């Protein structure tokens, strides 16, 4: 009888810093996986919340788990160090706030082996981290078309799709040999830039709805606003380091919204034409309310009529305002780079 081919080794890499609350569930979901031929590498950014003890406990119980240090404390550096330390034929990146279904890794392997995809990821199911009044509305917003546009891994689809990026991505190792690793200059959006680079190089990214992954979102309005602001800033800053389109057009839509509203208010104030000042803001409010009412009817909740517009505005306007600040920082970076360029030496005759 011919020997069966050995299953590929999967390296699960998890960047983490002070996230012990969620890392325990994340690690346990990986170790409970149906797929057994794997290694788990936690790249820790000098945590001080008990993360080290947590990883050590898992490592003592299961030799597949190990920890490496990430002294720079940034996500791309953590990922690159973990990839360099890995031995797998396939590399799967997980956030510490994520949990995967028992068959997630097995399905990822199956999809990569049976297709010409270079990367595969699953359908995200967003969960709230608390039970406050905005917990459920935040989850709904992050899973709706009006909230996140055509981010298919968030809004879900019934069939597998070729997409521009995925969550819980699993790559063939040769992808990193072909296009390089994550850009360590990008504290955020490094995954989006990497996916864009892969697509430009002719790579294919597959989203499989059979692969189920849960993400614990920030459930308070303050945390949600701050997170969206930072994401908005880093939708712009990659352009200081990367040629071409570093993000997708949907990531720039909130910037256009905030600039449009600000411009209409400015024009209205300067011309004294009141309706100009309010036109775009009122249009956004109308669409926001329509989407919120539709969601409230679907969930049979009157409270959502009030809460959803606030959450949608927090998502779009905080992201857009962050992108405006990102544009300011980008301009300053470009000016600084230009002034630091060596000047041509003067010639004498």
Query: What are the tens digits of pLDDT across the range 244-266?
Result: 777 778 889 999 999 998 888 78
Q: Are residues 180 and 258 in the same domain?
A: no
92 and 188 together in one domain: yes
HEC string of 156-209?
A: CCCCCEEECCCEEEEEEHHHHHHHCCCCCCCCCCHHHHHHHHHHHCCCCEEEEE
Same domain? For 199 and 57 the reply is: yes
Residues 213 and 287 in one domain: no
Rounded to 10 degrees, the C-alpha dihedral 254/257/259/260 comes to 170
Q: Report residue 272's pLDDT band, with 50, 70 and 90 as the boundaries.
A: low
Q: Report d(CA 40, CA 10) in Å as an integer.
A: 9
Q: Which residue has the higher pLDDT, 342 or 216?
A: 216
**Which helix (H) or strand (E) element contains residue 77?**
helix 75-85
Whether residue 233 lies inside any domain: the answer is: no
Residue 165 in contact with residue 205, Cβ under 8 Å? yes
Q: Residue 169's closest CA among 12, 330, 347, 287?
A: 12
Of 341, 339, 332, 340, which is closest to residue 236 (Cα–Cα)? 332
Please say whether the beta carbons of 272 and 106 come within 8 A: no
Query: Are both 282 and 168 inside the same structural domain?
Result: no
Q: Report if residue 232 sits inside a domain.
A: no
Residues 133, 148: Cα–Cα separation, whole Å: 21
Structural domain includes residue 139: yes
pLDDT tens digit string along 100-155? 999 999 999 999 999 999 999 998 888 877 778 999 999 999 988 898 887 767 77
Show the tokens assigned to 205. 């990214």
Averaged pLDDT, 61-78? 94
159/260 same-domain check: no
Does residue 342 fall inside a structural domain?
Answer: no
Q: How many CB atoms lie within 10 A of CB 98?
A: 23
Rounded average pLDDT over 307-326: 96
In a domain, 5, yes or no: no
Q: Do the domain assignments include residue 92? A: yes
Provide the domain count of the chain: 2
Q: Does 42 reside within a domain?
A: yes
Angle at 161 between CA 156 and CA 166, to 5 degrees: 65
Beta-bridge partners for 172: 90
Is the pLDDT reported for residue 302 higher than 80? Answer: yes
CATH label of the domain that carries residue 203 = 3.90.550.10
d(CA 84, CA 72): 16
- What is the Rg, in whole angstroms, of the alpha carbon atoms belonging to the chain? 22
- CA pair distance 78, 71, nearest whole angstrom: 9
pLDDT of 2 > 70? The answer is no
Q: At which of 178, 199, 219 does a domain end? A: 219
* Residues forming beta bridges with residue 157, ordered by sequence position: none
What is the structure's pLDDT at 339? 81
Query: Does 291 share its domain with 168?
Result: no
State the chain's mean pLDDT as an integer: 89
177 shares its domain with 64? yes
Q: How far is CA 294 from CA 49, 141, 148, 284, in A?
A: 42, 12, 16, 15
Query: Of 196, 219, 242, which residue is a domain's last?
Result: 219
Domain range enclosing 62: 10-219
Instruction: Please tell me the least confidently modeled range out of 60-69, 217-226, 324-333.
Output: 217-226
The Cα 334–Cα 331 span in angstroms is 5
Tell whether 173 and 293 lie within a shared domain: no
Counting residues of the chain whose pLDDT is more than 70, the rounded percentage is 92
Verify that 163 and 209 share a domain, yes or no. Answer: yes
Whether 273 is covered by a domain: the verdict is yes
Q: Are residues 166 and 76 in the same domain?
A: yes
Contact 180, 134 (CB under 8 A): no
Query: Which of 155, 133, 130 shows the shortest CA–CA distance to 144?
Result: 155
The answer to whether residues 168 and 287 belong to one domain is no
Residues 150-159 pLDDT 10s: 776 777 667 8
């Amino acid at each position: 009888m011919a020997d069966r081919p050995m299953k590929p080794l999967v390296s699960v890499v998890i960047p983490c810093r002070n996230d012990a609350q969620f890392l325990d569930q994340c690690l346990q979901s990986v170790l409970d996986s149906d797929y057994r031929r794997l290694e788990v590498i936690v790249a820790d950014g000098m945590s001080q919340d008990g993360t080290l003890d947590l990883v050590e406990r898992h490592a003592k119980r299961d030799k597949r788990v190990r920890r490496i240090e990430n002294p720079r404390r940034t996500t791309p550096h953590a990922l690159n160090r973990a990839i360099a330390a890995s031995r797998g034929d396939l590399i799967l990146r997980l956030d510490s706030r994520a949990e995967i279904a028992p068959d997630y890794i097995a399905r990822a392997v199956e999809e990569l082996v049976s297709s010409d995809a270079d990367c595969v990821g699953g359908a995200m199911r967003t969960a709230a981290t608390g039970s406050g009044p905005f917990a459920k509305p935040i989850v709904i917003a992050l899973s709706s078309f009006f909230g996140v546009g055509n981010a298919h891994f968030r809004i879900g689809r019934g069939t597998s799709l070729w997409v521009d990026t995925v969550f819980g991505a699993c790559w063939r190792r040769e992808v990193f040999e072909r296009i390089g690793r994550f850009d360590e200059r990008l504290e955020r959006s490094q995954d989006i830039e990497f996916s864009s680079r892969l697509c430009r190089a002719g790579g294919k990214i597959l989203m499989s709805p059979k692969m189920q992954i849960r993400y614990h979102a920030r459930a308070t309005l303050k945390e949600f606003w701050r997170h969206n602001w930072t994401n908005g800033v880093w939708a712009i800053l990659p352009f200081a380091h990367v040629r071409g389109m570093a993000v997708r057009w949907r990531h720039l839509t909130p910037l256009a919204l905030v600039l449009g509203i600000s411009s209409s208010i400015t024009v209205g104030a300067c011309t004294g034409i009141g309706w100009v000042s309010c036109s775009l803001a009122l249009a956004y409010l109308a669409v926001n309310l329509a989407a919120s009412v539709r969601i409230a009817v679907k969930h049979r909740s009157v409270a959502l009529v009030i809460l959803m517009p606030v959450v949608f505005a927090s998502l779009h306007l905080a992201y857009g305002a962050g992108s405006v600040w990102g544009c300011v920082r980008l301009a300053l970076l470009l000016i600084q780079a230009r002034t630091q360029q060596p000047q041509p030496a003067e010639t004498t005759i």
